[in-house]
A and B are shown apart, each in its own frame.
Chain A
Amino acid sequence: MKRRGYGMIVLLLLPALLIILAFYVVPAVLTGTMSLTNMDHRLSWNFVGLDNYKAMLQDTILSRVFWNTLLYVFGTLLCFNVTFGLLLALATSYIAERQAERTSMFFRALWLLPRFTPPIVYGVIWLWILDPTRNGLLNGILNFFGGRPVSWISEYPMPVIILTNGVIGASFGMILFYSAITSISKEYTWAAEVDGAGWLQRIRYVTLPLIRWPLMFVTAYQTLSLLTSYEYILIITGGGPFYRTTVWSLYAYNEAFGGYYASYRFGYATALTLVLVLISMVASIIYWRVFRFREMMSEPKIEVI
């Protein structure tokens, strides 16, 4: 009986295991192996030991890339993905509370639009907004008021990539926070109101403590997601000017494929991505410990009706 039970478990887990094996374990092993080669455009497996990892220590650009990555990830998180997402959720839930559910839904839908837009279209729209000549939207407005055009991307490169990624990223937090806020039992709000709490006090003492888990989950999840995202940066700034917006994942991409005449350093690029995997794992462990996710995953101590 017991043996049959195990058999069933294995059978049920098999499809998922096969998928993980084919699409995660095998590529991960290949990537790890590739990082020990000096593979270039000829795709030959010439093993060079740890040379690529040693080369990283001598790469003068890499420290700049590391700090860029930190600034980009936490800048986007703090300004948009968590904070702005939370503000949007609070604002739209406030509107919904005031019997204007449709208006609230309209605003939420509006903020979801960038997420539905194909990345290349979204990038091109931003390129037009930030165009350094008078033809750009912002410079057109400046020009109308008699101002000189500004090279937005070159003068504010990091704010540009934080803003462009954040406008998309904020909607993820908004949706999760909004549903968490609206699922808070009304009794808590009424009790706070009876105690004389204003809107801000209700947020501070009722809402925020009760959406603690979604807040921490979004922070952790979006950190990992931002660590590996580079597509909008690639489209809008290409990582420039001179590496000022090159984040780790984009640097790895550029070492493999980027530029007018790419270096096709697949060995070095895969070594870089493996280090990124390590950074992500360290970040996950820190979040797990600091945010005490074990508590979130554990069974509730009281029975929920």
Chain B
Amino acid sequence: MRTMKRVALLVLLAAAALLLAFSFSAAAQEVITIRAWTVGPDTPAFYRAENLITAAERLNHILEVVGADIRVEVDADFWTDEWDSFRRRVILASEEGDPDVVPDILVSSHLDIPVWSSSGWLAPLDDYVQTYWESTYQDFFPHLWESVSFEGKIWGVPQDIEVRMVFYRKDHLRALGWTEDEINDLARKVEEKEFLLADLQALAKEMQAAGLVDYPIVHRPTSGPDFFQFVVAYGGDYYDPETNKLVIDKAALEATLQFFADNVKDGLTPSGMTTWPWPAVHRAIAEEGTAGMQITGGMWFWAEWQRDFGIPEEDLWENLTWSLIPAGSEKGRPNQLGHPLAYMVTSPSHHKDLAFLLITLASEVDLNTRHSLEAAKLAIRRSQTAFPRFLESEYLAEAAKLVPHQIFTAAHPAAGRYATVLHEAIGGVETGALTPTQAVDLVIQRMTQAAGDDLIIR
């Protein structure tokens, strides 16, 4: 009986000791939560959030192997609503400045860097980038660092980059008698200025006369940096890097607005293009072919058309081809605009080191490549271009050929506003509410208000 009691006591003591040990180890293991707000809005770009979660899993594995008593948890969300609502959320939270509200990591447009960094909401990353330079960041394409720098400091880590292009319906070109060779030669002709915006309009008229389309030319309905491409195509500038001022090039801007006005006047573009819902634009060009050309295309549409509209990739190859935005005049040049997204670390974050480490791990070649493949985005690292899975993608390889003609939006706090104002002016001339000259005046008035002395009017 006494032995039984002793055994019971021993068992109880052992259980208590185990429980105590367990609770001690549980208490000793610190879990740090890193919060991240990421944005699409294109749904295939979900790896912007997922890669951070995978990075944390990899980091935790290492910590476990070395017996460290710390774990990292990532609470990442992925915003698929509009850009403006994402920005509003960041701005209001950042103004609040509460580290419990503001996330540690943001993924957003490089356009946001001048505004957010000058408001004191972001942490400068130069020292962090230097820490991992040899192991990771020396591998990044050098020009991308310029897009995430402002006033001499690095505020972001490039997350992805893409090219923009004009998409053409090949089936309509064939119907107009174009041979496969002629179709395949179109991109070269655009690049070498043998096919200008006026030729694009002539082609649109042919498509319309042949009854192939409802509207031969469509463009993005919402505002975005895309419309600067046309200013450059007509030989203009929108930014002067020497003085860090925005530029309104009146002649090129008016030519751009005249181009959009003429398209509507000739019935090539609907007058209310700026009120079309996005899905209607996508369906018209990619699914139904009721449009002939999408002149503000982006390479990521390829992923959206497959994922969100269920169009098989072979159909896309069969029906669509693309080129740079053609030059509009002899002075202008064919081009396309890149709009890098970047990881940023917020200034109120209590865990900046850890947040940056996660960003570094999420930028690993395999992780960023799976993002490239899923979201149809280009490589940010040299090694990616030699990575087998990346090499397998014919689309990425073909689209990457447009890279040498890339332009970027201005690194200026009012650059985003400039994009909105330009879009507004295009809406004005398309609806006939403004003549191109009046629209130029509107842009000058609005941008003088937004940029003040930081504006050069030529």
Binding site for B on A (CB under 8 A): 41-43, 55, 60, 127, 131-136, 148-149, 151, 153-155, 157, 237-238, 240-244, 257-264
CA distance A83 to B376 in the complex (A): 53
Query: Assuming the A-B contacts A260-B83, A260-B84, are A240 and B274 also in contact, with contact meaning beta carbons closer than 8 angstroms in the complex?
Result: yes
CA distance A167 to B309 in the complex (A): 31
| Residues of chain A with a CB closer than 8 A to B424's CB | 242
CA distance A295 to B284 in the complex (A): 59
B450 contacts A by Cβ under 8 Å: yes
B229 contacts A by Cβ under 8 Å: no
B416 contacts A242, C-beta separation under 8 Å: no
B280 contacts A by Cβ under 8 Å: yes
B277 contacts A by Cβ under 8 Å: yes
B417 contacts A by Cβ under 8 Å: yes
A sample of 10 cross-chain residue pairs with beta-carbon separation below 8 angstroms, ordered by A number, consists of A41-B95, A133-B280, A154-B272, A154-B275, A154-B276, A243-B433, A260-B222, A260-B416, A260-B420, A261-B84
User: Which of A41, A135, A148 gathers the greatest number of chain B CB atoms within 10 Å?
Assistant: A41
CA distance A241 to B84 in the complex (A): 18
Residue of A nearest to B224 (CB): A260
| Residues of chain A with a CB closer than 8 A to B276's CB | 132, 151, 154
Residue of B nearest to A136 (CB): B280
A60 contacts B275, C-beta separation under 8 Å: no
Query: Assuming the A-B contacts A131-B280, A244-B431, are A260 and B423 also in contact, with contact meaning beta carbons closer than 8 angstroms in the complex?
Result: yes
B428 contacts A by Cβ under 8 Å: yes
- Find residues 408-427 in chain B having any chain A CB closer than 8 Å to their own CB: 416-417, 419-420, 423-424, 427
Q: Chain B's nearest CB lies how many Å from the CB of A161?
A: 11
| Residues of chain B with a CB closer than 8 A to A242's CB | 274, 424, 427-428, 430-431, 433-434
Q: Say what secondary structure dominates the interface of chain A.
A: loop
Binding site for A on B (CB under 8 A): 82-84, 87-88, 91, 95, 111, 115, 119, 214, 222-224, 270-277, 280, 283-284, 288, 290, 416-417, 419-420, 423-424, 427-428, 430-431, 433-434, 442, 445, 449-450
CA distance A60 to B83 in the complex (A): 27
B420 contacts A151, C-beta separation under 8 Å: no
Residue of B nearest to A263 (CB): B417
Q: Kindly identify which residue among A43, A136, A154 contacts B271, using a CB–CB cutoff of 8 Å.
A: A154
Total A-B contacts with CB atoms under 8 angstroms apart: 109
CA distance A149 to B284 in the complex (A): 12
CA distance A225 to B429 in the complex (A): 33
A60 contacts B442, C-beta separation under 8 Å: yes
CA distance A238 to B84 in the complex (A): 13
CA distance A261 to B274 in the complex (A): 15
Q: Chain B's nearest CB lies how many Å from the CB of A259?
A: 4
CA distance A257 to B427 in the complex (A): 19
A131 contacts B277, C-beta separation under 8 Å: yes
Query: Assuming the A-B contacts A240-B274, A241-B274, are A264 and B434 also in contact, with contact meaning beta carbons closer than 8 angstroms in the complex?
Result: no
| Residues of chain A with a CB closer than 8 A to B280's CB | 131-133, 135-136
CA distance A141 to B428 in the complex (A): 30
CA distance A16 to B35 in the complex (A): 41
Q: Kindly identify which residue among B119, B223, B275 contacts A153, using a CB–CB cutoff of 8 Å.
A: B275
B111 contacts A261, C-beta separation under 8 Å: yes
Query: Assuming the A-B contacts A240-B274, A241-B275, are A264 and B430 also in contact, with contact meaning beta carbons closer than 8 angstroms in the complex?
Result: no
CA distance A258 to B288 in the complex (A): 31
| Residues of chain B with a CB closer than 8 A to A136's CB | 280
CA distance A237 to B272 in the complex (A): 10
Residue of B nearest to A133 (CB): B280
| Residues of chain B with a CB closer than 8 A to A127's CB | 277
Query: Assuming the A-B contacts A127-B277, A241-B272, A241-B427, are A261 and B419 also in contact, with contact meaning beta carbons closer than 8 angstroms in the complex?
Result: yes
User: Which of A41, A55, A131, A242 gathers the greatest number of chain B CB atoms within 10 Å?
Assistant: A242
Query: Assuming the A-B contacts A134-B290, A242-B434, A243-B433, are A261 and B270 also in contact, with contact meaning beta carbons closer than 8 angstroms in the complex?
Result: no
CA distance A258 to B88 in the complex (A): 9
Q: Chain B's nearest CB lies how many Å from the CB of A261?
A: 3
A257 contacts B88, C-beta separation under 8 Å: yes
A259 contacts B271, C-beta separation under 8 Å: no
Q: Kindly identify which residue among B270, B272, B445 contacts A240, using a CB–CB cutoff of 8 Å.
A: B272
CA distance A243 to B222 in the complex (A): 14
The 10 A-B pairs of least Cβ separation, nearest first, read A154-B272, A261-B416, A260-B223, A242-B427, A241-B272, A259-B420, A242-B428, A241-B431, A242-B431, A151-B270
Residue of B nearest to A41 (CB): B91
CA distance A6 to B119 in the complex (A): 53
CA distance A257 to B274 in the complex (A): 18
CA distance A132 to B222 in the complex (A): 15
Residue of A nearest to B416 (CB): A261
User: Which of A133, A155, A240, A258 gathers the greatest number of chain B CB atoms within 10 Å?
Assistant: A133
Residue of B nearest to A124 (CB): B277
Q: Kindly identify which residue among B82, B83, B84, B288 contacts A133, using a CB–CB cutoff of 8 Å.
A: B288
Q: Chain A's nearest CB lies how many Å from the CB of B261?
A: 12
A43 contacts B95, C-beta separation under 8 Å: yes
Q: Chain A's nearest CB lies how many Å from the CB of B298?
A: 14
| Residues of chain A with a CB closer than 8 A to B115's CB | 41
Residue of B nearest to A55 (CB): B449
B91 contacts A157, C-beta separation under 8 Å: no
| Residues of chain B with a CB closer than 8 A to A60's CB | 442, 445
User: Which of B270, B272, B420, B430 gathers the greatest number of chain A CB atoms within 10 Å?
Assistant: B272
CA distance A99 to B82 in the complex (A): 52
A262 contacts B87, C-beta separation under 8 Å: yes
Q: Kindly identify which residue among A134, A135, A240 contacts B275, using a CB–CB cutoff of 8 Å.
A: A240
CA distance A131 to B281 in the complex (A): 10
Query: Assuming the A-B contacts A42-B95, A257-B88, A260-B420, are A157 and B275 also in contact, with contact meaning beta carbons closer than 8 angstroms in the complex?
Result: yes
CA distance A153 to B277 in the complex (A): 10
Q: Chain B's nearest CB lies how many Å from the CB of A282?
A: 28
